[in-house]
Amino acid sequence: MAPVRIAVVGLGKIARDQHLPAIAANPAFTLVATVSREGDGVPGVPHFQSLDQLLERGPAIDAAALCTPPQVRHELAAMALARGTHLFLEKPPGATLAEVAALQGMAQASGATLFASWHSRFAAGVAPARSWLAGRRIDRVQITWREDVRVWHPGQAWIWEPGGLGVFDPGINALSIATHILPQRFFLKSAVLEFPANRAAPIAADMHFCDTHGAPIHMDLDWRQTGPQTWDIVVETDAGRLTLSNGGAVLALPDRTERDEDREYAGLYAHFAALIRSGQCDVDVTPLQLVADAFLCGRRREVEAFED
């Protein structure tokens, strides 16, 4: 089978750090074009200022990875799906749930694969954590996701605008893991979202969930942590404690600890290739639903202004 001819749309930090190396390492794909309004793209690869320029004048593509901010992604995704192009959506899959649902309908009509990716689900410890938790009684869960926004999102103004999610941009990674590994669905009970006085998106959130069996789930998100960063999920069960740390890369169980190298994006692209071969889509919006519920039902608290 010939490699899938793929274009990367949006050449920000995540595209250069993760998507381009993962594509280069996967023989199922060949990078044939890049799209970005800024910069010159990748040496030796045709580069375009817009997706419509690529689709009209560029090399033929079978698939595209959309790595743009979520606020502008729907128009680009619709343009590609109208031509039957397979789509890999960087997380979150869109700025709203309704637009993602619309894209699902377009993908079904066109026969194209639509993959709403959640990279943290492909961290090394996540699959074994899900297996270990299956069938166990969950007593309580603590999610702590604290990092320094100046390190991970320097100068990215879009992330502070409506649809940019603010601290939920990393927080949705934790929710993508929790919704995948916990055996019962869970829902929001209460939330307090802290908004800097000069920003339209939150910098911190304190959230309380409950699963369908009554187990409490607490989530602590903060973008103001300096020094060592914290990406931990602790699950207390009838068989002892499970801890996922380092964003899911390290799994600690009552009788052992497992750790492995970073392979999130390698796993994502392997999955995307399999979806294309089988003619399937994978669009799970559950993490985005929980974030939407936080904005819908959470209390807003104004805090001091934040400057990069």
Active site residues: 91
Spatial distance between the Cα atoms of 255 and 235, rounded to a whole number of angstroms: 15
Give the closest residue to 159 by CA, choosing from 100, 40, 150: 150
What residues form DSSP beta bridges with 205? 193, 221
What is the C-alpha end-to-end distance of the chain, expressed in Å?
A: 47
Distance of CA 40 to the CA centre of its chain: 26
For residue 247, the 8-state DSSP code is G
If DSSP codes are grouped into helix, strand and coil, which group holds residue 201?
A: coil
Asked whether 188 and 290 are in contact (CB, 8 A), the reply is yes
Q: How far apart are CA 55 and CA 183, in angstroms?
A: 43
Instruction: Give the residue from 230, 261, 227 showing the smallest Cα distance to 243.
Output: 230
Assess contact for 117 and 89: CB atoms under 8 A: yes
Q: Name the one residue in this structure whose structure tokens are 């936080």.
A: 294
Give the H or E element holding residue 118.
none
